[in-house]
Amino acid sequence: MKKKIVLFASGEGTNAQRIIDYFKTSDQIAVTLVVSNKAGANVLNRAKAAGISTLLIDRASFYDSDQTITALKSAGTDLIVLAGFLWMIPESLVKAFPDKIINIHPALLPKFGGKGMYGMHVHRAVIGAKEKESGISIHYVNEHYDEGRIISQHSCTISENDTPELLAEKIHRLEYEFFPAAIEKALL
């Protein structure tokens, strides 16, 4: 029986698409559900185009009930992957799936992590701090933003001429290259 991945995403879904594509021919792992907190998120269109079920959640059901946990358990979830999901994961969900939720962060943690540090906010902060390198951190999720145990980190150099937008492109290349393989390793 295939291991089942559930993707959580809030936006465009480029990382989700890479993960879907990576596992679509796997004999051992399948993306079986995409969960989003935004009805207009393009990731939902990407999931539907790939024949993957979707679940739209709202703040009340996510934080104040066990509806999401029940749905994930009913789906036989083996691993939850945050691929651009911007809400903090509630403690109840972390406890229901211990060491079964992983995230990717667009910086080398513990630097440039925490509440509000996502997307271009991170890249602007890294460039503003005149860092010589940045990268990605793939980590388990706990009850705090970006503080879970690190699975792997991959870096890139920052040149003097890099803008936050150019750095974002470098980070995306790292995400696309390393995130699916890290997910596979976490499951097998």
105 is known as an active-site residue: yes
Output the pLDDT for position 188. Answer: 87
**Tally of residues, the chain:** 188
All residue ranges of the chain with pLDDT < 50 are none
Helix (H) or strand (E) holding 107: none
Domain boundaries, the chain: 1-98
Q: How far apart, in whole angstroms, are the C-alpha atoms of residue 50 and residue 47?
A: 5
Residues 6+ away with beta carbon under 8 Å from 100: 77, 78, 79, 80
Q: How far apart, in whole angstroms, are the C-alpha atoms of residue 119 and residue 130?
A: 18
What's this model's pTM, rounded to 2 decimal places?
Answer: 0.95
Output the pLDDT for position 150. Answer: 97
Of 105, 123, 139, 172, the catalytic one is 105
- Phi, psi at residue 148, to the nearest 5°? -70, 165
Range 1-98: architecture per CATH: 3-Layer(aba) Sandwich (3.40)
Q: How far apart, in whole angstroms, are the C-alpha atoms of residue 142 and residue 122?
A: 20
